[in-house]
Amino acid sequence: MKIPAILILTAVLAHADSVIEGHVTLPAAKSTPVMAKRYEIVTKGGVLSTNPPVAVVYLEGNFPKSAALPKHQIIQKDYVFQPSLLAVQTGTTVEFPNQDDTYHNVFSFSPAKRFDLGRHRPEDKPVPSQLFDKAGLITLRCDIHEHMRGIILVLDTPHYVISGTDGNFKLSGLPPGDYKLKTWIDSRTTLEKPVTLTGGAALKVNFP
């Protein structure tokens, strides 16, 4: 028996990946004194944010756990954390190579992950690393260089992206279903919208 072409097409579309793209209205970049131009993570009124501002956009839902996740790196170079903002999925290990000719340290007092990797030089092996097994916001610091700040946003989803400084973003390879699309803007601001994805859908979603 021949299967009608329209049914085949419908079945293919039902399992096709979807795309969400859009724009996040970001706050204005903060001006900083010349002496503080290296500050890429800023604190104002107890609120942590990036400078210039960007957003982390992610799809929240019930997704199967990944069998293995790739390692990520945040490099300590020129006395800053590079990148200053990193988004990862829960269960990810992050390495912290030191590429400055001096001692560095990485520690966090954040509730989602408290740790202190100790002081280390570039030649010290193994490279300091930490497993991030709980979702939440992690603030990185160096106990030697007080100005150094970094942020890791640990997410219970494999579907996330960091927007450009223009606020534009694109999430692709998304499965069909009902989800919440969230955008993290700073440590006190996370916006969300419900979305329904059908096979091969291409949605346009803007925040706010």
Among residues 156, 177, 197, which one ends one of the domains? 156
Is residue 6 assigned to a domain? no
Is residue 1 assigned to a domain? no
**Confidence class for position 3, pLDDT limits 50, 70, 90:** very low
Show the DSSP H helices in 129-168 as ranges. none
Rounded Cα distance, 115 and 128, in Å: 11
Residue range 2-12: mean pLDDT, rounded: 38
> pTM, whole model, 2 decimals?
0.88
> 99 and 42 in one domain?
no
Contacts (Cβ under 8 Å, ≥6 apart) of 97: 73, 75, 76, 122, 127
Edge-to-edge strands of the sheet including 189-197?
Answer: 160-162, 56-60, 177-186, 189-197
Is residue 152 assigned to a domain? yes
Q: What is the DSSP letter of 139?
A: E
* Residue 32: per-residue pLDDT: 56
Contact of 68 with 25, CB cutoff 8 Å: no
Range of the domain at 184: 16-63+166-208
Q: What is the pLDDT of residues 87-109, one digit of tens each?
A: 999 999 999 999 999 999 999 99
Show the DSSP H helices in the chain as ranges. 5-14
